[in-house]
Amino acid sequence: MDNVELDPPVVAAPNRTGLVLDVATVGLVNPLAIGEEPTRPYIQCTDERVFLLPTALRDWAIDVIAQHHACLSAGDTPMFPRQIEFGVLDGGLYAELL
């Protein structure tokens, strides 16, 4: 993995758009690591670029991964690929499935 950090833009207002990426998958770097630095979430885009996400989005990534696997287990349409918007609004980092 190239370890390219995602740098979401600051969004001035809720009706403004942050960085929108076409995402093929959301995952965790070394999810079974014990005693090492915290597991980092990442995204892989449909154009093969890979970005490490800020650790503040780790819980979001875990929830999205769980939702995706629940969809697959239920025989529903896979959640990916899809667009995800990333940004910083009012000092808080966000990721939103579009």
Lowest pLDDT segment from 2-6, 9-13, 51-55, 87-91: 2-6
The verdict on residue 5 lying in a domain is: no
Structural element, H or E, at residue 62? helix 58-73
Which residue in 43, 56, 46 sits closest to 4, CA to CA?
A: 43
The verdict on residue 8 lying in a domain is: no
Instruction: Express the helix, strand and coil content of the chain in percent, nearest 5 each.
Output: 20, 40, 45
Q: Is a pLDDT exceeding 60 seen at residue 71?
A: yes
Q: Tell me how many domains the chain contains.
A: 1
The verdict on residue 80 lying in a domain is: yes
The share of the chain scoring above pLDDT 70, in percent, equals 89
The verdict on residue 74 lying in a domain is: yes
CA distance 74 to 97: 20
Domain range for residue 46?
A: 19-97
For the chain, the average pLDDT equals 89
